[in-house]
Structure formats: C-alpha cells, structure tokens
Amino acid sequence: MENEFQTKKVFLCHAKEDVDNVKKLYEKLKKNGFSPWLDEIDILPGQNWNYEIQKAINSSDFIIICLSEISVDKIGYVNKEIKWALERQDEMPHSSIFLIPVKFDECELPDLLSTFQSVNFFIKGGFDRLLKSLEHQTGKISTKKNKNIAKVPSSGNELLNTLWNSFDEDLQDAISLAYNHSKRKGKNIIKTKYLFSAIKKLKPSVLNVLFTILPEESIQNDIEENISKENILLKESPLFSNCIEESLKKVSKKANPYRKISTRDVFIDISKFGKGGSVSRLRSYGINPDKIDQIVNQLGWEVLKRDIS
C-alpha cells in the first residue's frame, strides 16, 4: 500500500483543542501509506502561517475537516481554512471524494459542510470507513490526475460554441465578465464564485427581486470595478468549474429557439444542485434547495429545470 498511496497528501484541518485526536489520525494515515499534513508538524519556525496553509490546501489530494463539539462552536481560523477548502472543492467533479468531515464526537455538522457525508472517527470501524473513501478515490486519482476541472475542448470551444447562441444576452455578459475577471487574476477558469459574483454585479432584471430576498453576504463581491464584460472567451480556451459545466449541459436540454437560457435558469440550478464553496456559502445563510423552490414559487417564476433521474 505504501508505494501506491504514499504521495497522496491529506490536509488535516482542525481546532487546536482537538490536536490530540488529530495526531492519532495523523499517525494512522501515515501507517497506511498516506502523507498527512499537519500545521504543528509541517510548518517550520519563521514560515508564514497563512501562506503555508493555503499552499498545503492547494496541493493536497484530500482535505479532512476534523470536528468536535468544541471546534464546531469555534469561530476563527478554522472557518477560514474550511472556506479555502470549499473553494478547491468547487473545482472538483461532483463524483470526486475530496473533502471529508471527520467527527471526533457526536457534534453537529456546521452549515458550510452540511452537503458532505461525514465519518465518525470515535466509533469502531470509523477509521476503516475513512480509509475506504481515501483508497476508493485514490484509484481514480491515479488514472485521472489533473482532471479535477472540467475543460472545454480546445478545438473550437465545443461547449461554448454549441450553446452560446442559446444563452440570453445577460447570461453571455455574466459569463464573459466572470472569465475576464479570471484572466485578470492570471487564470483561465470560470469558477462558480466568479459567475455568481458577475451575476450579482450586473444585476440582470430577471434576478433583481431575488437579490433583495437573499442575504447580502450570501454571494461574494469578487469582481473588480474596472473589469470589462467584453466577449473574448469564444476566441480562447476557458475552463469551467464542474458545477457550471454540468448546469449548462443539464439546463440546455430544456431550452429551445423560443426559450433561451437565462442567468435565472443557471443561478437557480447551480444554487439547488451545486457543490463547493459558493453553494455552501448560500447554505450557511439558510438558502437550501427547499428555500430556493419556495422563492421561485413565491415569485411565480418559470425556470428551466434539469431532469432528476
């Protein structure tokens, strides 16, 4: 097992009060051939704490969120780490196992993590169950390394070229703005949080009422003031978060020449079915799928709905 798993880095996010249990987990992972990363052990004296934590999160194959009644009630750096982890989760395919909540006692999962299946480390067989998840996903990683982000085929941007004319003008503007913001940051991925921020900034008329209902802080304001919504992405090869690509594919099946896909359709679909930091942020403000359906019904909206199999 060592040769197969030893390069798989596992980031351990925890509160200092849980460090004894976390070190036990660290040793168990190490004995089973994984490479656990723990701040008390892996950050050297004099290194920048924030920088090293974010670097470790961005380079990890798995992130384990260690939880207890103490840490769940704790406000501060642990929540910041969880939000960074959720941003990475937002780029992962839905079927991937990446972020795993591990409970050290009978604590409640925080709202930010409510969409993830947890494992009880404190019961018999708990670690074996965790190990099963890691080994299951490790098999996928070994054959699909660096495919965490769904890529639009570079030959003509097939997805965009196929669907672009079925988007209404507001959705075209939002996607373009999100992409241009990403380019400004030196990247070419349209993350879900960029698209949500772009929609919030542009405030298309079809969503004006919704933004008066949603809590102001439930959607981030990431887009800088001087970012253009000029359409350049059709000439380039952008990457999409899996949330966006899946939503566009699912929703587009319900579009027709008389009914284009709108920002409302995509925003509602991702908010209901997406995973990752942006959707977890909505959940933390009480915006769950039932609440979204309630708002849609209350406003009398007709939205394109994906088939649920």
Render pLDDT for 183-226 as a digit per residue (tens, 0 to 9). 888 888 888 999 999 999 998 887 888 888 999 999 988 888 88
Does position 58 have pLDDT exceeding 70, yes or no? yes
Does position 39 have pLDDT exceeding 80, yes or no? yes
Mean pLDDT, the chain, whole residue set? 84
Residue 288 · residue 116 · CB < 8 Å: no
Please tell us whether the domain made up of 150-299 is placed in CATH 3.40.50.720: no
Q: What is the pLDDT of residues 244-299, one digit of tens each?
A: 988 998 898 888 777 889 999 999 999 999 887 889 999 999 999 999 999 999 88
Amino acid identity, position 166: S
**Per-residue confidence band for 150, with pLDDT thresholds at 50, 70 and 90:** very low
Total residues found in the chain within this entry: 309
Does position 161 have pLDDT exceeding 80, yes or no? no
- Using CB atoms within 10 A of its CB, is residue 221 exposed (0-12), middle (13-18) or buried (19+)? exposed
Question: CA-to-CA distance for 148 and 204, rounded, in angstroms?
Answer: 31
Token digits of residue 121: 């480390």
Query: Residue 127: which H helix or E strand, with range?
Result: helix 126-144
**Number of DSSP helices (H) and strands (E) in the chain, helices first:** 15, 8
**Candidates 3.60.15.10, 3.40.50.1000, 3.40.50.10140, 3.90.1150.10; correct CATH number of 2-144?**
3.40.50.10140
Residue 292 CA to its chain's centroid (Å): 19
Q: What is the DSSP string of 221-242?
A: ----TT------GGGS--EE-H
Provide the pLDDT for residue 143: 47
> Which pairing describes strands 119-120 and 150-151: parallel, antiparallel, or unpaired?
unpaired
Q: What is the pLDDT of residues 99-145, one digit of tens each?
A: 999 999 998 888 888 888 999 998 988 999 999 998 888 775 544 44
Query: 266 by DSSP, 3-state: which?
Result: helix
Of 291, 274, 243, 281, the closest CA to residue 111 belongs to 281
Domain definitions of the chain by residue range: 2-144, 150-299
Query: What is the maximum alpha-carbon separation in the chain?
Result: 63
Query: 162 by DSSP, 3-state: which?
Result: helix
Q: Average pLDDT in the 17-38 region?
A: 91
Residue 101 · residue 85 · CB < 8 Å: no
Please state, for a pLDDT cut of 90, what percent of the chain lies above it: 35
DSSP-based helix, strand, coil % in the chain, nearest 5: 55, 10, 35
